[in-house]
Amino acid sequence: MTDTATPGRRTVIFDLDGTLADTSGDLIAAANACFISLGHGEVLDPSQDQLTAFHGARAMLRLGFSRLNGGDVDEADVNREFPNLLDAYEADIDRHTHLYPGAMDAVARLHASDYAVGICTNKSEGLARLLLSRLGILDRFTSLIGADTLPTRKPDPAPFVAAAHGAGGDPTRALLVGDTETDRLTARAAGVPCILVGFGPEGPGVARLAPEAMLDHFDDLDAVVARLIG
């Protein structure tokens, strides 16, 4: 990684979960491991609860306990199981996870066209680094900013700006590729365009967030990026 920014260098920053990779299967499996250890079996469904998985560990635990308790959730239960979920996830982080079609080909084309390329995620940096390593793609991104890299996380713009600088790019000539309202708000706060993917957990419904562009397949990323930042 480099801390030296090239003034004016075009920059593309990616979210990770739900944007580059579908990680929901392993996230839900980790949550279910907690409920199984409590004697409840698999409370969450990998298909039905995919969107909740991308809202984080605590969201999955709250959903599961809500189902078990008739809608009631005790935050003490959530807090108790939170570290257990993270341990289960770290131990089996890439069993079901897969990259979305064309993702890494698109990243390779951006590099070939001299774009700076990095990642800004609300996954902890350690888990993000582990996952990218297991997927064999860590070295394809020049920067990686996680939820705990800085004192703030998305939608605060600081992690995005740090990711752009860390990639050797210019955060004023950059954009964010994501899949959620958090990514949309981050881009808005940073004053940059946002591309939201229509193949993520919410599907084409994310168009309701009025991003500067929607992406139906990574094959189309080059043209969209060129239109937005040159």
Nearest to 2 by CA among 225, 166, 222, 139: 166
DSSP letter assigned to residue 27? H
State how far the Cα of 75 lies from the Cα of 22, in Å rounded to an integer. Answer: 28
Structure tokens at 66: 């809500």
Nearest to 92 by CA among 63, 130, 60: 130
Domain ranges, ordered by start, for the chain: 11-22+97-229, 24-91
Output the pLDDT for position 7. 57
Backbone φ and ψ for 177, nearest 5 degrees, come out as -105, 120
Give the Cβ contact number of residue 45 at 10 Å: 11
pLDDT one-digit tens code per residue, 11-48: 999 999 999 999 999 999 999 999 999 999 999 999 99
State how far the Cα of 32 lies from the Cα of 36, in Å rounded to an integer. Answer: 6
Which residues are designated catalytic?
A: 15
pLDDT one-digit tens code per residue, 147-159: 999 999 999 999 9
Q: Considering only the top CATH level, what class is 11-22+97-229?
A: alpha beta
pLDDT one-digit tens code per residue, 88-137: 999 999 999 999 999 999 999 999 999 999 999 999 999 999 999 999 99
State how far the Cα of 211 lies from the Cα of 195, in Å rounded to an integer. Answer: 6
* pTM for the full predicted model: 0.93
**Mutual orientation of helices 125-135 and 75-91 as an angle, nearest 10°?**
30
